[in-house]
Amino acid sequence: MKINVIDLFAGCGGLTDGFLQTEKFKTLAAVDWEFPTVQTLKSRLTNKWGYKTDEHILHFDIQRTEELLQGYTDSKFGESKGLINLVGNNNVDLIIGGPPCQAYSIAGRVRDKNGMKDDYRNFLFESYVKVVNHFKPKAFVFENVEGILSAMPGDIPILERIKESFNEIGYEISDDLKNNAVFDTSYYNVPQKRKRIIIFGVKKSESSRKQIEDFYSMMLNQKSTNPTLSSIAFENLPKLIPIKNQKKLSHSLQEPMNIGVKNHEPRFHSERDIEIFRTLTTDIKQGINKYSNSKALIELYKEKTGKDSNFHKYNVIREDKPSNTIPAHLYKDGLRHIHPDPEQSRTITVREAARIQSFDDDFEFLGSRGDQYKMIGNAVPPKFAKQIAEIVIEIMRDIK
């Protein structure tokens, strides 16, 4: 018997894909409000996992929770009979997902003049809580950025609000999320330093506290001794080499594309940027390390562009380390994710970003290239999700 799951704020399906890889879960429904991510998830469920219909995926705004549950007809989102009808007589055993993280991220708070305190996304967790309250699953998995630990919209810690909200509907979570619930995915088979909070909650019972403690203890035991290096993300991909005097194309394939590998087209780069990328990657490759500090990178940016900046713009992914975090911001530019090979002198492709996020090569991303970068940056790495799922399976055996 498979464990029935609903995925909220599903995005393109990183969490769902990891759970399905265990072959122990069944996705009853997944919800997201961005069209390209919904189309990508529909494609994945039907082409990879053999779902016979795309009705399992709801394209809708979860803030309109009552309509999401009961059904809706909408000019933007179309028509649906709603989650309740879709679930039917099935028991919902587990709810997974995480509200958009921009309102909790430290980077987002730095950029926003009010520190994101007025951002509506601070309270999207309330919709998550409402769905949990309706279906009463045995447990839930709530994923978010590390910055949620310090977020204080309305000058009240957001984690206090979240804990109280789940407590009111009869669910328990850890009292010490700061020490228990922060995970660096590079120690969980993902070639990327990406710190995330995993809140595991269960229905209150005599054994609920132990179940939560067991979850975090097992997650800690799964942690590898050494991080996963970024070099694996670039293996067996054809090189994309700079070409001159092209107005729409700056790089071309050196060899035929591997069969089955999609989304591996380069961005267009100016000759100036190609020169900068070659300078930076050669500096690392030859062990010169002239540009190993922020000051030197800021000076290089000023020298090459004539513009001032308080922050360095460039980062070369080091093959001997995990990649830096893949963000949604990657859809704007890739300057902080420069390919390590001087011969290629470019930023990473969608496929390379997906590999750094641990997506399989047969996972196809739809929409514009910008859409694809954005959904990858917002996703939960599937290999990390799979490790969470395997532990959830063990814990749920003991939940009545």
Q: Cβ(230)–Cβ(318) under 8 Å?
A: yes
Q: Cβ(265)–Cβ(369) under 8 Å?
A: yes
What is the enclosing helix (H) or strand (E) of 308? none
Among residues 31, 38, 101, 151, which one is catalytic?
101
User: Which residues sit opposite 316 in a β-bridge?
Assistant: 338
Other beta carbons within 10 Å of 365: 26
Q: Which residue, among 54, 57, 61, 63, has the nearest Cα to 33 in the 3D structure? A: 61
Say whether 12 is catalytic: no
Rounded to whole angstroms, the Cα distance separating 197 from 189 reads: 17
Task: Please list, in sequence order, all residues whose beta carbon lies within 8 angstroms of the beta carbon of residue 246, skipping any fewer than 6 positions away.
Answer: none
Structure tokens at 45: 């469920």
Packed helices 382-396 and 208-222: angle between N→C axes, nearest 10 degrees: 140
Name residue, tokens 């005097």: 245
Q: Which residue, among 15, 23, 89, 86, has the nearest Cα to 50 in the 3D structure? A: 23
Residue/partner pairs of 106-109 with CB below 8 Å, 24 or more apart: 106/145, 106/146, 106/147, 106/150, 107/147, 107/327, 108/147, 109/147, 109/151
Other beta carbons within 10 Å of 94: 23
Other beta carbons within 10 Å of 89: 4
Q: In the chain, which residue ranges form alpha helices assigned H by DSSP?
A: 14-21, 35-47, 65-70, 83-87, 106-111, 125-135, 158-168, 177-180, 208-222, 271-285, 294-305, 350-356, 369-378, 382-396
Catalytic residues: 101
